[in-house]
């Protein structure tokens, strides 16, 4: 495929590495070339099959709007924009494109969502719950999109709204650690996912772009990763 990767940062660079290994042809665009989405005009996107975005919460919506309006399929890993999810879903529908997004493109994290969903039953049996998330000091959003997704999964599965808080830590170069702790008077349950490499996110994002080829519609990676 011919892929345009938006973002030359930590994760965008890992995506470029994985995509090159998987023999895709790449165009890589960073902040400088893409001020006001300048790199995303219909002409410049001409023969691109899909755009993969790992940029910042500040520019991601403008990137999405430009690519979707140009009729391009998109994989969005950037977090911090989900308040606009419904509007973007409608935009994708209107322009009849394909779109996959995720707070985490890691297979392990998506497995962790299912584990958390099962463990949520504890909240109906006098357990209290907390989510702890740790990331590197440069991360721009808090709490992490993944922590918010885990919280949503637990709330939906337990039927208990507002019972599980998120505590965020920003330190050193931690790639991403999420813990769910469930406590009762009698015992504690500890669940933990610890990312040791950004390649897990990158592989998921590139494989999502491959999966999206020839498809239309708005997808959450947690609903499609088993099909990869």
Ligand X SMILES: NC(=O)c1ccc[n+]([C@@H]2O[C@H](COP(=O)([O-])OP(=O)(O)OC[C@H]3O[C@@H](n4cnc5c(N)ncnc54)[C@H](OP(=O)(O)O)[C@@H]3O)[C@@H](O)[C@H]2O)c1
**What is the contact surface with ligand X in residues (CB under 6 A)?**
6-12, 29-32, 34, 54-57, 59, 77-80, 102-106, 201
Structure tokens at 65: 């709007």
Would you say 59 or 180 has its CB closer to ligand X? 59
Residue 183 CB, shortest distance to ligand X, in Å, is: 29
Residue 11 CB, shortest distance to ligand X, in Å, is: 3
CA distances from 62 to 104, 128, 215, 217 (A): 21, 40, 23, 19
Would you say 73 or 106 has its CB closer to ligand X? 106
| Chain center to CA of 17 | 18
Structure tokens at 155: 């709330």
Residue 130 CB, shortest distance to ligand X, in Å, is: 21
Q: Identify any residues that bridge with 5 across adjacent strands, giving them in sequence order.
A: 28, 52
Of 69, 93, 95, 139, which one is the catalytic site residue? 139
Residue 103 CB, shortest distance to ligand X, in Å, is: 6
Of 72, 135, 178, 193, which one is the catalytic site residue? 135
Q: Which residue is nearest to ligand X (CB)?
A: 9
135 closest CA partner among 185, 87, 198: 198
* Cα 159 to Cα 174: distance, rounded to the nearest angstrom: 32
56 closest CA partner among 91, 74, 80: 80
* Cα 180 to Cα 83: distance, rounded to the nearest angstrom: 24
Would you say 62 or 191 has its CB closer to ligand X? 62
Active site residue 135: yes
Active site residue ranges: 135, 139
């Amino acid at each position: 495929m011919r892929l345009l990767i938006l973002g030359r940062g930590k994760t965008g660079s890992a995506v470029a590495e994985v995509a090159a290994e998987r023999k895709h042809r790449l165009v890589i665009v960073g902040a400088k070339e893409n001020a006001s989405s300048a790199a995303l005009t219909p002409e410049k996107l001409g023969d691109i099959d899909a755009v993969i975005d790992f940029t910042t919460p500040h520019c991601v919506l403008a990137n999405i709007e430009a690519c979707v309006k140009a009729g391009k399929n998109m994989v969005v890993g950037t977090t911090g924009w989900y308040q606009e999810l419904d509007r973007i879903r409608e935009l994708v529908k209107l322009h009849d494109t394909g779109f996959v997004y995720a707070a985490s493109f890691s297979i392990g994290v998506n497995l962790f969502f299912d584990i958390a969903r099962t463990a949520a039953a504890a909240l109906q049996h006098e357990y209290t719950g907390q989510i702890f998330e740790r990331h590197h000091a440069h991360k721009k959003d808090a709490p992490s999109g993944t922590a918010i997704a885990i919280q949503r999964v637990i709330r939906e599965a337990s039927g208990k709204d507002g019972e599980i808080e998120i505590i965020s830590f920003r330190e050193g170069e931690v790639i991403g650690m999420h813990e769910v702790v469930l406590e009762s008077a009698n015992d504690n349950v500890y669940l933990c996912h610890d990312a040791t490499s950004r390649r897990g996110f990158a592989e998921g994002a590139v494989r999502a772009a491959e999966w999206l080829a020839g498809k239309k519609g708005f997808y959450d990676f947690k609903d499609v990763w088993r099909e990869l």
